[in-house]
C-alpha cells in the first residue's frame, strides 16, 4: 500500500459514496486507475465494507453507555464475547487490558431500557460485574484517522 492508496482510503472514509472520478481528482489519477486500486484494496481486505452513518437519536437510540465487563475466574473471553455479540443493543465490543476484560458500547432508547440491558449483560455466564458510564453528549465519533498522511506526501515521515 502506497501513499496514493492511503489518500484514496482517507477520501473514502470521509465520503464512502464518492465516485471514482471524484476520488481520481482528489488523488491525481484517472477514474479507471482509482477503480483498479479500490478493487485491490477490497480484495486484500484493507477495505472491508461500506455503511451508512446514522444519527442514533433520529432512530430512537438516544442513550449511549460504555460498560466495562469484569469476568468471573472461570469465564472464557470467547464465550463472553459471543454472548455480548448476541445482544442487539451492544454496538461495539473491545477486549481491553486491566481489571475489565471488555468494554462495550451500548445504545438504547431510554434509561429504563439501559437498566434492562445491564440486567441482560449481568446474566451472561462468565460476567462477574459491570461498570457503567453513561454518555452525556458525543463530541465526535467514528472520525477517520489520517495521521501521518501529510508527512508522507511532504517526505517528512
% of the chain with per-residue pLDDT over 90:
82
| Residue found under cell 464465550 | 79
Tell me: the pLDDT tens digits for 11-41? 999 899 999 999 999 999 999 999 999 999 9
Task: Give burial (CB, 10 Å; 0-12/13-18/19+) of 44.
Answer: exposed
CA distance 121 to 135: 18
Look up the pTM and report it.
0.81
**pLDDT band at 86; cut points 50, 70, 90:** very high
Is the pLDDT at 133 greater than 80? The verdict is: yes
CA distance 78 to 75: 9
Amino acid at each position: 500500500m502506497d501513499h496514493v492508496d492511503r489518500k484514496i482510503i482517507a477520501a473514502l472514509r470521509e465520503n464512502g459514496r464518492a465516485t471514482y472520478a471524484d476520488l481520481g481528482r482528489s488523488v491525481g489519477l484517472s477514474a479507471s486507475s482509482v477503480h483498479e486500486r479500490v478493487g485491490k484494496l477490497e480484495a486484500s481486505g484493507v477495505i472491508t465494507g461500506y455503511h451508512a452513518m446514522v444519527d442514533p437519536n433520529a432512530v430512537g437510540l438516544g442513550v449511549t453507555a460504555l460498560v466495562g465487563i469484569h469476568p468471573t475466574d472461570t469465564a472464557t473471553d470467547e464465550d463472553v464475547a459471543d454472548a455480548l455479540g448476541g445482544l442487539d443493543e451492544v454496538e461495539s465490543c473491545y477486549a481491553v487490558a486491566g481489571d475489565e476484560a471488555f468494554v462495550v458500547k451500548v445504545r438504547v432508547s431510554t434509561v429504563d431500557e439501559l437498566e434492562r440491558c445491564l440486567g441482560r449483560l449481568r446474566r451472561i455466564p462468565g460476567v462477574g460485574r459491570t461498570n457503567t458510564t453513561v454518555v452525556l453528549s458525543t463530541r465526535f465519533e467514528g472520525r477517520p484517522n489520517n495521521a501521518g498522511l501529510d508527512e508522507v506526501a511532504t517526505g517528512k515521515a
